Structure 1
C-alpha cells in the first residue's frame, strides 16, 4: 500500500485505485448494502462520576466498560476528562444546594398552586393562553389572596416576563 491511507492503516481511496465505493465505507456485518448506523449514547454525569470512582479504586477500564455496557473508548475519554467532569459535578452540587435552601412564603406557594390549577383548567377547556393573560390572572389571584390572608397591602407581586 502506498499513499496517505497506508500511513493510517487503511486503504487508499483516491483516483489511483483502492476502493470502488467512492469514499464511502462499506457496511461491516450489515444486511446487504444497508450501512450500519453508529448509535450514540449519552452518559449522565452520575455515571461519569461512578466511572471515575471505580477507576480511582483501581478497577480496570475493560472491567468498568463491560460492567456499565459502554465502549472502552468512552471510559478512556471520561477518565481523560476527569477534571472537567469533577468541576461540572461541583457546579451541580452548588446549584442543587441553593434550591434546597431557597424557600417561599406560604402565600406564594398557595398562589403558585392557584395559578397552576387555573392554567390546567384553561387547557382542559382549550382556552387561548398567553403570557399577558396569565400575568393578569396572577395579579388578580394575588389581590384575592392578600385580602383572604390579611397580608400587608403594600406587598407587591413581582412578575417575570420570561
Structure 2
C-alpha cells in the first residue's frame, strides 16, 4: 500500500505516510537497512525517514487505527481514556446481564469524564492542552448503536 496523497493549501499533492508504513520503516531500519535506501524505497526525503526513526518509540507505543497518518500527541487525551473506560464498563455490565439504556450510559460517561478531569487537576497537570467539555447526548450515538 503506497502513501496517501493529500493536497496542501496551494493545491499541490503531498504524500502522507500511514502509521503502518512508519512501523514497516522502523522495522526495516532496525533490521539494518540504511536511511538512504529506505528514503529511496518509500519515495520520500531522508529527513522524513530520520524523523520517523527519531520518533520510533512514540510510533511503536501508539495504538493507531489502520490507515492513520498522524500521531497527535504522546499523551492519551481525557476523551480517549474516558471512551476506553466507558467501553470496559459497558462490557462488564453486559457480562453481568444488566440492561443499559442511553441515559444510563450517558450518565456514566459524564461521571467518568468528571473523575478524569479531577484526577488530572489533582495530579498537577494543569498546564496541558484544553480538553473537550463533558460529553453530550448527540456525541455518544455510536455507543447506543453499537449495543
State the TM-score, normalized to the length of structure 2. 0.36
Find the structure with the greater CA-based Rg. Answer: 1
Structure with more of its chain in strand, by fraction: 2
| More RCO (CA 8 Å, sep 6+) | 2
State the TM-score, normalized to the length of structure 1. 0.33
